[in-house]
Structure 1
Amino acid sequence: MNDRELLILLNDLESDRVERKASNSDPKKLRQAICAFANDLPNHQKPGVLFIGINDDGTFADFDVTDKVLVSLENMRSDGKILPFPTMIVRKLPVGDCTLAVIVVEPSDSPPIRYDGRTWVRVGPRRALASAEEERRLNEKRRFKDQPFDLRPFVSASLDDLDLSLFQQNYLSSAIAPDVLEENNRPLSQQLASVRLTTPPPESHPTTLGLLVIGNEPRGFIPGAYIQFVRFDGVETTAPIRDQKELTGSLFDILQRLDDLLQINISIATDITAQPIEIQHPDYPIIALQQLARNAVMHRSYESTNAPVRIYWFRDRIEIQNPGGLFGQVTEQSLGKGMVTDYR
């Protein structure tokens, strides 16, 4: 928040996004206020602000904002008394001939936030301990915001980063029934949001899913969004390399190019003596390779890793590696045994 926005809030004596303190002499109440602003029970989705050095009636207190004061306020974020750690900024604010200490507290994506094991919330202009119903509401807010990685928006991306013609000509016809599309008069921004490729308008930020499926350059936002293909002239990674490719782009482009690449690397032996017609024997069945490669792309993890899907083609085998490993109940011991399954 800039100085102008802070001054507007400072002068609003009725705002429930503001709390004023004459000094920092009662750190317990300061922590309660930080906790309450981070929980954002009224769902303002805007920062709450603590002004220190000013009385409730708007008159300035005799309070000296020193570096020691600012450090003590900053330490409230990570001293372990407020958990999970709140997101907050501590700074000075000059107001006329006076200077205030300011704590700007962002609404948390993981409420409820607790101070010494208790959940504090704002109820109008005052703070209070959360009731059971209020804690339930905070838990619902956390579940709503705690979306899977592929549905999280990239706020630095815009619709310009998506191939909208690919969406209209290929994706929609594959994902939505033709009769539904004929009756659908919604604008493009709403169509994108309805299939989770962007957030709802007016923001319309592409999600991870949107960038992967119809992004112009997904790798610019998701560094691991590509396939590394290497053909070795031997049985180890130290063998000479016959061919290598990096397949980038949207999933449509990557999978199409991968199919072509697999096809041209398959060797086909032809037998014209065993039967009246020639019999072809590929060294690997193309359909099986396509399924394995698609599984590697579909079931990989893009979160917390920049590694690509790797396809290493050796003289005696093909290795397909994808980041993320086994998931949930599926372990190395249970893999392929019984009916143990799980879903990422």
Structure 2
Amino acid sequence: MNSLRDIDLIDDLRAQPVETPWLEFKSSLSDEAKIGKLISALSNAARLEGKEQAFLVWGVEDGTHKVIGTSFDPFSKHIGNQVFELWLRQRLSPAPALQFRPVDHPDGKIILLEIPAPTMAPTSFESVPYIRIGSATPKLSDDPGRYQALIEKMRPYTWELGIAASYLTADDVLRLIDYPSYFSLTRQQLPTNRDHILEKLAGDRLIQKDVGGRWNILNLGAILFATNLRDFGSSIERKGVRFVRYDGVDRTATVTHRHDGQRGYASGFEGLLQYINGLLPQNEHIGQALREEHPLFPRLSIRELVANALIHQDMTITGAGPQIELFEDRIEITNPGSPLVDTQRMIDLPPRSRNEALASLMRRMGMCEEQGSGLDKVFREVEVFQLPAPLLKSNATSMQVVMYGPRTFAEMSGEERVRACYFHAVLQFMAGERMKNTTLCQRFGIDTRNAAQASAVLKKAMEADLIKVADEDHPRAGYHPWWA
């Protein structure tokens, strides 16, 4: 931990007019049980006050807030044969990541204890949660109102609001963050005043104020607008987008292109898409007079699928980021984390994202469709181009979308035909229509004289319980997806 930052932090805490529910000054308190209860009380009070940390400071005089030094030494203190910090951890639950730190303040020795606020359950000492009210430390159960308020304020950890880099000067922030891209993409005029730039970045939760007049860059700011992801350490760098192109149909083929993205998602998004589009295989289309070449995959669909991979990944999975693999006949887009919605329901149910702030800002910048309208447009575009339906695959650690190049009905496997049939039924249902033999023929490009081919696919989809007759009294009136 930066010692200069700790001194600035102590001075900012001393500048508080009075002690707060999340801040306590002590001279030489050493009673282990009192310290345990105080940690529980301060932690819970911090969450109630909307703070992420509470602080217990030894060596500052209560009232005057003068540095007076302390003889308390948590590092040499033992309870029986047990180190004091370990003794505390065993009696606090959920066990917080306590940080006792010695601070060599110019005016004397200080011990600083930083206490995280609870996120899942109230912080308890020996199974009893406490709260701070004035100078008292009563049991939380004695104050039902505060107990309920605390439960309502606790929330799961939000990765976007974590700190990617701390205690930075304003110049450091403007060097590490591609702020011109932020203002351009959000269609705001670039301020000429540095303080106004920082104020705007803070307003979108890309940065936040730290102590001593310095700044923190939040994970949201780093992952979207990093000038170079490497500047934020391996945990951020490894979330960069990786692109690989193979000269063949599987991973044993020669790798012809490899690109590891080093810019933030927003800053590098258009450049990444241009790079991918420049490498997409071309498909020759014969028009009325001229032969024209078109990309093997619809570009708008690629854009939406890449954006979805960025938005819906599980950021808490370390050492992994989105990956795009281009083969001669398909493109595979994979992101860390299992999806929050069943793959069969992704184009009709509202999407659920782990990264709401990231998703909201990317939609605002026009990088993806409005919530709930993106993936269904991908499937509709696939139908227009009469491509095989994309394959949606998930497991415990990842989500993958596979988009295939053009194949005729005869070239599709039975599984691909049934999958296309199911998603066609979904799209028809969402449009207020029913899938019929004639609409499925159109979907596959089947001549209506060969409608029996579509009928065979409908039969297999029924047997797989993916579709059902829309009206039992009129079986030929059309079909709905199984869940309708």
TM-score w.r.t. the length of structure 2 is 0.52
2:96 is the counterpart of 1:86: yes
Aligned-residue offset at 1:321:
0.8
- For residues 70 and 85 of structure 1, what CA distance do their matches in structure 2 show? 20
2:210 is the counterpart of 1:197: no
- For residues 130 and 265 of structure 2, what CA distance do their matches in structure 1 show? 46
2:220 is the counterpart of 1:215: no
Match of 2:329 among 299, 307, 316: 316
Aligned-residue offset at 1:39:
3.2
Aligned twin of 2:436 = none
2:163 is the counterpart of 1:163: no
Stretches of structure 1 that go unaligned for 5 or more consecutive residues are 52-59, 94-101
Which residue identity is paired with 2:254?
Answer: P
- For residues 33 and 269 of structure 1, what CA distance do their matches in structure 2 show? 69
- For residues 191 and 91 of structure 1, what CA distance do their matches in structure 2 show? 34
% identity of equivalent residues: 22
CA contact (8 A) 1:86 1:106 kept: no
Query: Using a 3 Å threshold, how does the CA distance of structure 1 residues 76 and 103 change in structure 2: closer, same or farther?
Result: farther
2:243 is the counterpart of 1:234: no
- For residues 247 and 35 of structure 1, what CA distance do their matches in structure 2 show? 43
Aligned-residue offset at 1:265:
1.7
Q: Deviations over 1:121-147 (max 9, x none)?
A: 33333422231233345446544xx66
Residues 130-145 of structure 1 mapped to structure 2, 5 A cutoff: 130=140, 131-139=143-151, 142-143=154-155
More helix by share: 2
- For residues 92 and 148 of structure 1, what CA distance do their matches in structure 2 show? 29
- For residues 336 and 284 of structure 2, what CA distance do their matches in structure 1 show? 37
Alpha-carbon RMSD: 4.0
2:40 is the counterpart of 1:35: yes
Q: Deviations over 1:239-289 (max 9, x none)?
A: 2222222222122443222222222222334456x6224343432222222
Residues 17-166 of structure 1 mapped to structure 2, 5 A cutoff: 17-18=25-26, 28-40=33-45, 47-49=55-57, 71-79=82-90, 81-88=91-98, 105-110=113-118, 112-130=122-140, 131-139=143-151, 142-143=154-155, 148-156=158-166, 158-159=172-173, 160-166=175-181
Which residue identity is paired with 1:276?
Answer: A
Match of 1:298 among 301, 311, 336: 311
Match of 2:272 among 258, 263, 286: 258
Which residue identity is paired with 2:178?
Answer: D
Secondary structure at the counterpart of residue 291 of structure 1: helix
Stretches of structure 2 that go unaligned for 5 or more consecutive residues are 1-5, 60-70, 104-109, 355-484
Aligned-residue offset at 1:83:
0.9
CA contact (8 A) 1:16 1:122 kept: no
- For residues 312 and 244 of structure 2, what CA distance do their matches in structure 1 show? 21
Secondary structure at the counterpart of residue 294 of structure 1: helix
- For residues 288 and 102 of structure 2, what CA distance do their matches in structure 1 show? 89
Which residue identity is paired with 1:300?
Answer: Q
Which residue identity is paired with 2:277?
Answer: Q
- For residues 340 and 167 of structure 1, what CA distance do their matches in structure 2 show? 28
- For residues 250 and 164 of structure 1, what CA distance do their matches in structure 2 show? 11
Aligned-residue offset at 1:238:
1.9
CA contact (8 A) 2:24 2:57 kept: no
Query: Using a 3 Å threshold, how does the CA distance of structure 1 residues 46 and 288 change in structure 2: closer, same or farther?
Result: closer
Which residue identity is paired with 1:257?
Answer: G
Aligned-residue offset at 1:70:
7.7
Secondary structure at the counterpart of residue 258 of structure 1: helix
Aligned twin of 2:372 = none
Q: Which runs of 4+ in 1 moved over 6 A?
A: 90-93
Which residue identity is paired with 1:33?
Answer: L
CA contact (8 A) 1:219 1:225 kept: no
Aligned-residue offset at 1:186:
7.9
- For residues 271 and 116 of structure 2, what CA distance do their matches in structure 1 show? 42
Alignment coverage as a number of residue pairs: 298
Which residue identity is paired with 1:289?
Answer: I
CA contact (8 A) 1:39 1:113 kept: yes
Which residue identity is paired with 1:165?
Answer: P
